[in-house]
Amino acid sequence: MHLDKTILEHLMHFRDTDYLIENIHLFRDINHENRQLIADIIKDCAIVKARAGQVVLDPHSSGARLFIVLKGSLGITKINEHNNLLENAITQYLPGECVGEISVLDEEIHSATISAMTDSELLVIEAETMWRLIDESNGVARNLLQLLSFRIRAANAQIRNRQKVGEFYRQLSMVDGLTGLHNRAWLNSQLPGMVEHAQATGNALSIIMVDLDHFKRFNDEHGHLCGDDALQSAAKILNAGLRPSDFAARYGGEEMMVILPGTTQNAAVGVAQRLCNRLSKTKIFASDQKPLPHITGSFGVATLIEGQDTKAFINMADAALYRAKENGRNQVAI
């Protein structure tokens, strides 16, 4: 649906109205002499009426012209593809404000759809007239620059807000919903960079692969809800025992990984042993009416060696984890 000036209802010319030039933002703070000059230039500009919901400007509009809102309101809208109805505008233009100035300046098509939010009366200034106003009135040129500066700042603020929202959801997508630890997607995106940095700088980097012992049996005996409680408890133990520079992630199922930047093998083994001891003393059930289940974990420690890539690094921790299992579980292996 396209509606432009050709089918907007013509009311009168500006010279035949009682609208005050000083109420139009583009002509504010201009002395009396210049206001008279502006009045002479725009006296024959048409005033048109736009019904509520009517499209005033869109990417298909022909010609470059400025629309100044004298009465009512305009807004940036979009047409819903499913029902062809206009969706509500976030950005609105109220009496005294204008739209279309960018298209007048660069002679490009309109990038957005502007529609009347309520029945509106609009002063139409054609591009040729607008350029005459700019040429003959420094005040109009100054106000136009201020308007463009405001629009740029507003657009930048919207972009920053969208970036913040996008980052919030990106971060949210990187968190495991059950344990609150980083998830596998986060691990896949972050660990390779840590490995590359450690290889480039020569700094130590260690990881601990953790697997809860006999977790299937735990679920079978106590139910999956208690299994979830056990995973959450284990996650809290891991997080509580780390430095701010360390990371914990859920690798998958009952497996978790601890990343220790700047940590040698001996120090990493000490961290793993401390976590192992704390985990074995973890209380899962709060009720004294049930026997406390015994939950432990097996811990495999790996420290990055020169030339090793991420996959080999994880495989080394995995191999250490299986050695801990084969040696009886509830212990640390390297």
pLDDT(71) > 80: yes
| 44-53, 264-273, 291-300: range with lowest mean pLDDT | 291-300
Q: Choose among 56, 37, 46: nearest CA to 15.
A: 46
Q: Are residues 13 and 157 in the same domain?
A: yes
> Percentage of residues in the chain with pLDDT exceeding 90?
53
Residue of 302, 215, 223 whose CA lies nearest to 254: 215
Class of residue 11 by CB neighbours under 10 A (exposed 0-12, middle 13-18, buried 19+): middle
63 domain-assigned: yes
Q: Give the CATH number for residue 145.
A: 2.60.120.10
Provide the residue range defining the domain that includes 313. Answer: 184-333
**209 in the same domain as 298:** yes
Q: What is the pLDDT of residue 88?
A: 54
For all residues of the chain together, what is the average pLDDT?
A: 86
181 against 10, higher pLDDT: 181
Phi, psi of 2, rounded to the nearest 5 degrees: -125, 125
- Same-domain pairing of 90 and 148: yes
The mean pLDDT value for 145-158 works out to 84
Structural domain contains residue 169: no
pLDDT at 232: 92
221 lies in the same domain as 83? no
Q: What is the pLDDT of residue 241?
A: 86
pTM: 0.55
Assess whether 316 and 202 both reside in one domain: yes
Euclidean distance between CA atoms 91 and 315, whole angstroms: 54
